[in-house]
A and B are shown apart, each in its own frame.
Chain A
Amino acid sequence: MASNPFQQAVSAGSVTKPPSRGDYSSDTLFRSVAYGSAFLIIILMAYILWEIGGQALPAMQKYGFGFITGIGWNPGKEEFGILPEIWGTLYSSLLALLIGGVFGISIAIFLTQDFIEARLAVVFRTIVELLAAIPSVVYGLWGIYILIPALRPIANFLHEHLGFIPFFGSELSGPGMAPAALVLAIMILPTVAAISVDAFRRIPYKVKEAAFGMGTTRWEAILKVMLPTASSGILAALVLGFGRALGETMALAMLIGNVDQISLSIFSPANTLASLLASNFPEAGTLEVQSLMYAAMALLVITLLVNVAGLAIQQYTVRKFEGKK
């Protein structure tokens, strides 16, 4: 019996009220579904490890740790070793992350910090995101037909004049580490740029205005204020980019030369775990399939270790830029 106007308003639903019974149950339901989804990721990973690990087990028992340190992939003689592939994976992905990361972040800064008109920035950003859609086969073909011929004169120049530096120690005879790393960098650039752009756009205006109000130049504002604020998003972008670089198969298979050797020179051909898998899996016999699964487990372990390192870096930057939590 509400003559009280507040009671009337509440029963009419036009004023905020505490959650009803239905609200509570749908809340619990939603939370459990969300928890289940997060848990699903753990289950999925466990299932994958079980499937692949199960297939890899016979090879692990047969070759043990020598598999990781061995060199040469020989199905005929049943001798397998993946050390050159591990080297190639890490070297190419790190190079690609360095180049792609630096360029990606600078493009993100370019697009969000008022260097060009807003509409032009939207167009440019859409084009960059589209590059993520180009199939890796096309990147491989672009690399073979356009990048390698363009790179050859530069590579020969560097080799002739600076050949004493181990990085330029050999000739570019076609596919090699440099074209592969460059194409990888171009492939991860859209990912890094797009997510960094989002990270920058999330920064509230007042932060930028406060910096300018204190008299910073444009670049002091960017380097000392915007970049640290967006650092967690940029780190997420780099993690995704690096992951893509580690797992890239088709384009690398066409551009890295697929030779089992370890060399510091960026112009020699090399091999990576993912392209080894892609090249050999279709024709592999039983023992070779098991060894390839073993190599896949090694790749997963490497990704894991890299992410542990990434976590450590993240803890450090978060503490440095956002204060101890």
Chain B
Amino acid sequence: MSTTNPPLSSATTLVKDYNLQRQPLEYRAMKSIFLTGMTWAMAILASVPLFSVIYMLVIKGGTRINWETLTALPPAGFEMGGGFGNAIIGTLVMVVIASAISVPFGTLAAVYLGVFDPNSRTATLSRFLAKTLTGFPSILAGVFVYSILVIKFGYSALAGGISLAVLMLPTVVLAAEEAMRQVPQRMKDAAYGMGCTRSQVIWKVVLPTGMPGILTGVMLAVAGAAGESAPLLFTALFSNYYISEVMEPTASLSILIYNFSAMPFDNQIELAWTASLVLVLIVLIFNILARLLGRAKV
């Protein structure tokens, strides 16, 4: 072994003096550990009310979930038993109507706002108005549809669905637009390079890639709309019987909860809690179905 080593390059000399292992007591590492701790603390703190609400729902509503509750008609006065089968069907019908209106229109509008012509005057104005519509009080959506539809055609599930669609639209539009804008430009360029028209780029590249974001928007909108009671008071009213046609007053879970929670009868208060739980479960099922069916194929 030679006693004199060949001169090492400066880089390795410098490296020898530094310890590359993680030093937890270094300032930057401590900052990171502190922030991680804060995040855990905030997540736990935020979970407390979240789980408290769910816990209250499950405890108070869980006892009445059985076949009778899900299929029978609402009880009145001192009656025992009963259920809210008609309300479940009513909510489903109105949410489907609302989604059938707001999802296509909202996604198409978002396509225009996010991809086709984001900086045009129409797009800027439309985007701004959609943001303003997010703050639209739910009762006003009901009053608005009341004055244009109900006065002429009477209370109906259709009017209820339309008022819910008005409430769902801004969420769908804004979430979908955001999702589509974030699709990497190179993917769109590659599609153009292969000779696609703009619509083909949207259908085959942008929409599938942005699907998770669009679905999140749709799910949030559906969840919010399913729980709204104020607009339905002015558009779909309520019925104690199963729905037989779309143009008549319809029961819904949210109005049932609104009615029964104000009653002094224990039976009905219990049913109100169970209805809230059932509503959340329905949205959960939709959520899972949508995530399964709409996975992004990237």
Q: Do chains A and B touch in the complex (CB under 8 A)?
A: yes
- Complex CA–CA separation, A17 to B109 (angstroms): 29
Least distance between B24 CB and chain A CB atoms (Å): 11
Which one of B113, B182, B279 has the highest number of Cβ atoms from chain A below 10 Å of its Cβ?
A: B182
The verdict on A176 contacting chain B, using a C-beta distance below 8 Å, is no
**Closest residue of A by beta carbon distance from B269:** A141
- Complex CA–CA separation, A303 to B133 (angstroms): 8
Chain A residues within an 8 Å CB radius of B279: 133-135
- Complex CA–CA separation, A8 to B8 (angstroms): 64
Q: Is the CB of A135 within 8 A of B229?
A: yes
- Complex CA–CA separation, A155 to B174 (angstroms): 38
Check A296/B140 contact, CB under 8 A, given A130-B280, A146-B56.
Answer: yes
- Complex CA–CA separation, A182 to B48 (angstroms): 13
Which one of A24, A240, A303 has the highest number of Cβ atoms from chain B below 10 Å of its Cβ?
A: A240
Residues of B in contact, count (CB < 8 Å): 97
The verdict on A317 contacting chain B, using a C-beta distance below 8 Å, is no
Chain B residues within an 8 Å CB radius of A219: 31-32, 35-36
Check A35/B43 contact, CB under 8 A, given A300-B132, A310-B131.
Answer: no
The verdict on B226 contacting chain A, using a C-beta distance below 8 Å, is yes
Chain B interface, DSSP helix/strand/loop, else mixed: helix
Interface residues on A, range: 35 or more
* Residues in A lying within 8 Å of B, measured CB to CB: 16-19, 23-24, 26-27, 30-31, 33-42, 44-45, 47-48, 51-52, 55, 102-103, 106-107, 109-110, 115, 126-139, 141-142, 145-147, 182, 186, 189-191, 194-195, 197-199, 201-202, 204, 217-220, 223, 232-233, 236, 239-240, 242-244, 246-250, 273-274, 277-278, 281-282, 296, 299-300, 302-304, 306-307, 310-311
* Residues in B lying within 8 Å of A, measured CB to CB: 28-29, 31-32, 35-36, 38-40, 42-43, 45-46, 49-50, 52-54, 56-57, 104-106, 108-109, 111-113, 116-117, 122-123, 125-126, 128-140, 143-144, 147-148, 166, 169-171, 173-175, 178-179, 181-182, 184, 194-200, 202, 212-213, 216-217, 219-220, 223-224, 226-230, 233, 253-254, 257-258, 261, 276, 279-280, 283-284, 287-288
